[in-house]
Structure 1
Amino acid sequence: MLGFLTARQAGLDDPLRLRRAESTRRVLSLTLNPDREVDRIHGNGINTIDIEVIEGRYMLSGGADGVIVIYDLENYSGNLQYACKAVCTVGRSNRYVHKFSVETVQWYPYDTGMFVSSSFDKTMKVWDTETLKPAEVFEFEGNVYSHHLSPIARKHSLIAVGTKEPKIQLCDLKSGSRIHVLQGHKAEVLSVRWSPRYEHILATASADSKVKVWDVRRASGCLFTLDQHNGDKSKGASEAVNTAHNGRVNGLCFTGDGLYLLTTGTDDRMRLWNSATGENTLVNYGKVSNESRKKLQFTVSRGSSPELVFVPCESSVAAYALHTGELVTMLRGHYNNVDCCEFHPDYQELYSGGKDCNILAWIPALRAADVEEESKSANQAAADQSTVSTAFQDAWSSDED
């Protein structure tokens, strides 16, 4: 660490190199934090979580009990051991609460004053954070599996919605109406995701084994359908054309730069695709156990080298190297299946939620050198304080004499 600091100060190193090196160390050393608890509010499994990017301070969670909770992740006590408190809850006593399981929650990307939730009660609600009342309610014909707002959009305010119907609904936040429908899937749409690189590009995953990439500005809409065999018909002769997986596709996640798209399916496979060309990069992650019939929320690290993919795998969270497929570690701590995980890029921390009704915090482990350095700093501060106190007492005695 001192070598990095010296090289940066002398102008011998790129300032970003130190940041990347420390981010990598932190991501590779993630471990369950026994000193940080997240208030247990949900009475049933936790399906979805989201951390806002404005301050990186507040986290949303949605559960199978229909309840939505907002947590404050900030440590005000200054103590090593603390609890992330629930700031407010849309509980069963709230007249506006979802009647059935909440499948997706997401903060409005530009302001913590608003968030969006969708549920199996066939509704999507846009909430005012201050009043905890819905400012807008969208109703659909079938259960809502997933929704997503673009994190970078400036020219549109569309929410993509995947439901039990095989068509993707585009809802406009400004007008409060459904303005467009994307058709092409043949079964329920389990996951939708906007590109973090191009605001008009949308990826959708369905139970029909297909993943489609759309440009919502085009009349035809669909740019291409991902093909696990990259067009080699000899390999897929016995299978349907242009399938991304051999089962239900229930997970989508772009990398932070938007250059790659990850998909997961009930064929126990995870695949990495070039998001510009739709080419399967053929990275082998091995068996990625996936029995979920609904959306699976997984995430990718930011600022580290290599980038890691954190994906729920039964009662654990598996961490894979993005471009090699190597299984780096298994994060174990839940007592039941994990359904969602979210990476906090500001601190290189991970939060996961599961059917055991718990949200667990995974934080970078301190190195022995760091612990020793902190101990020395604390001892030195105590010694300095003692010296000051002694000097003050001597001066006080002199004045009295």
Structure 2
Amino acid sequence: MLSFLTARQTGVDDPVRLRRAESTRRVLSLELNHDRDVERIHGNGINTIDIEVIEGRYMLSGGSDGVIVIYDLENNSKKPHYTCKAVCTVGRSSRYVHKFSVETVQWYPHDTGMFVSSSFDKTMKVWDTETLKPAEAFQFEGNVYCHHMSPIARKHSLIAVGTKDPKVQLCDLKSGSRIHILQGHRGEVLSVRWSPRYEHILATASTDSRVRVWDVRRASGSLFTLDQHNGDKSKASSESGTDDRMRLWNSATGENTLVNYGKVVNESRKGVKFTVSRGCSPEFVFVPCGSSVAMYGLHTGELVTMLRGHYNNVDCCEFHTDYQELYSGGKDCNILAWVPVLRQPDNEDEGAGSVKGGAQNAVNPAFEDAWSSDED
């Protein structure tokens, strides 16, 4: 790290390289934070969490009990040990609460005054954060597995929705109606995600074992399908269901990069809600794996570490870009915080912070006198 600081000071390196180096160092030192608790509100497993990007302060969670919670992640007490408190809750006593499991929650990308939730009760609701009442509600014919709003869109306000129906639904926030469907899948749509670079590009994944990429401005079918065999037809490519594998694709060509992550266990019929780091070099991917979170090198497939702390299966995780932290939620009804632990060398541990005679040593040994007199 000193070499990066020196290079930055002399003007050899730009600020981005130093920032990436520090972000990478922090991510590689992630550990369960025993000094930070997240208030336990959910009575059933936690399916989904989302951290807003405006301040990076508030987190949404949605559970199998239909409950939605907003947490304040800031340490207002200024004490080493603190609890992230629930600011407000859409609980079972609310007339607007989802009747069944909440599968996805997402903050409106440009304003914390609104968020969106979708549920197995066949609805997607657009909430006013201030009143905790739905400003809009969309009804569907089957269970809603997922939804997503584009983080960069300026020319449209579309929410992509994946349901039990093979057709991908596009809902317009401005008009409050479903305006378009995307046809091409042959099974339930388990995941939808807008491109972080091009606001009209959408990727969708289905139980038909296919990931399709769409340009929603086109009336025709999908642009291309991500094919694990890169065009070579085989029986395996047409089989339905999970193969317990994770793949990295070239989004420009649709080709499988053939990175081998090994077996990624998915014990549910739903998609695995993983997350990717941002600002690191190289980047990392965090994947729920049983009661742990597996951390892989994104481009190498190398298993870096397993983050263990949950008492039951992990269902979701979310990377906090501002602090290179990770939050995970599971069937044990807990949300855990994983934070960078930057250890000091052993010889420094015995320095100014050491305790002697029951009191903290106020003087760093480096500045103490090292000479002795003849009288000693």
Instruction: State the TM-score, normalized to the length of structure 2.
Output: 0.91
Alignment partner, residue 298 of structure 1 = 274
Q: Which one-letter code corresponds to 1:123 in the other structure?
A: T
Deviations 1:53-91 (A, max 9, x none): 000000000000000000000012222111111000000
Q: Does 1:17 align with 2:17?
A: yes
Letter in 1 for 2:102: V
2:254 corresponds to which of 267, 278, 291: 278
Residues 65-144 of structure 1 aligned to structure 2 (within 5 Å): 65-144=65-144
Tell whether 2:275 aligns with 1:309. no
1:20/1:305 contact within 8 Å kept:
yes
1:144-179: per-residue Cα shift (whole Å, max 9, x none)? 000000000010000000001110100000000000
Using the alignment, how far apart are the partners of 1:26 and 1:217 within structure 2? 40
| Corresponding residue for residue 343 of structure 1 | 319
Mapped to 2, the partners of 1:160 and 1:94 lie a distance apart of 27
> Any conservation in 1 of the 2:352–2:362 contact (CA below 8 Å)?
no
| 2:330 is the counterpart of 1:330 | no
**Structure with higher helix content:** 1
Partner Cα distance (1:17, 1:361) in 2: 27
Gap change, CA 1:239 and 1:84, over 3 Å in 2: same
C-alpha separation in 2, matches of 1:331 and 1:307:
17
Contact 1:146 1:295 in 2 (8 A): no
Q: Aligned-pair RMSD on alpha carbons?
A: 2.1
Could you say if the C-alpha distance between residues 229 and 132 of structure 1 is closer, same or farther in structure 2, counting changes exceeding 3 Å?
A: same
1:191 is aligned to 2:167: no
Q: Sequence identity of aligned pairs in percent? A: 83
Structure 1 counterpart of 2:9, which letter? Answer: Q
What is the aligned partner in structure 2 of residue 205 from structure 1?
Answer: 205
SS in structure 2 opposite 1:291?
coil
Deviation of 1:239 after TM superposition, in Å, equals: 4.0
Q: 2:344 aligns with which of 360, 368, 377?
A: 368
Give me the whole-angstrom Cα distance separating, in 2, the residues matched to 1:295 and 1:371. 47
CA distance in 2, matches of 1:373, 1:305: 29
| TM-score, with length taken from structure 1 | 0.86
Deviation of the 1:6 alpha carbon: 2.9
Aligned to 1:4: 4
Query: How far apart, CA to CA, are the structure 1 residues paired with 2:149 and 2:353?
Result: 45
1:358 aligns with 2:331: no
In structure 2, the CA distance between the partners of 1:88 and 1:302, relative to structure 1 (3 Å rule), is same
Deviation for aligned residue 1:13? 2.1
| Matched residue, 1:258 | none
Partner Cα separation in structure 1 for residue 351 and residue 176 of structure 2: 56
1:294 Cα shift?
1.5
Residue aligned with 1:368, SS: coil
Give structure 2 stretches of 5+ with no counterpart. 364-376
Instruction: Write the letter of the residue equivalent to 1:225.
Output: T
Give the letter for the 1:103 counterpart: E
- Residue 25 of structure 1 deviates from its aligned partner by 0.6
Post-superposition Cα deviations, 1:17-66, rounded to whole Å, max 9, x if no partner, equal 22111101111111111110000000000000000000000000000000
The answer on 1:269 being equivalent to 2:245 is yes
**Judging changes above 3 Å, is the alpha-carbon distance between structure 1 residues 5 and 186 closer, same or farther for their aligned structure 2 residues?**
same
Q: Structure 1 residues 52, 370: CA separation in 2 closer, same or farther (over 3 Å shift)?
A: farther
Unaligned runs of 5+ in 1: 249-265, 384-401
Q: Secondary structure, in 3 states, of the residue corresponding to 2:43?
A: coil
Q: Which amino acid aligns with 2:217?
A: R
**3-state DSSP class of the match of 1:192?**
strand
Q: Which moved more, 1:76-85 or 1:319-328?
A: 76-85
2:371 counterpart residue number? none
**Matched residues, number:** 360
Following superposition, the deviation at residue 377 of structure 1 comes to 9.1
Whether the 8 Å contact between 2:182 and 2:221 is mirrored in structure 1 is yes
Question: What is the distance in 1 between the residues matched to 2:240 and 2:292?
Answer: 22
TM superposition shift of 1:114: 0.1
Please tell me whether the aligned partners of residues 70 and 89 of structure 1 are also in contact (alpha carbons under 8 angstroms).
Answer: yes
* 1:90/1:372 CA distance change after superposition, 3 Å: farther
Q: Report the counterpart of residue 180 of structure 2 in structure 1.
A: 180
Give 1:374 deviation, angstroms.
12
Match of 2:296, SS state, is strand
**Deviation for aligned residue 1:2:** 3.6
Q: Secondary structure at the match of 2:197?
A: coil
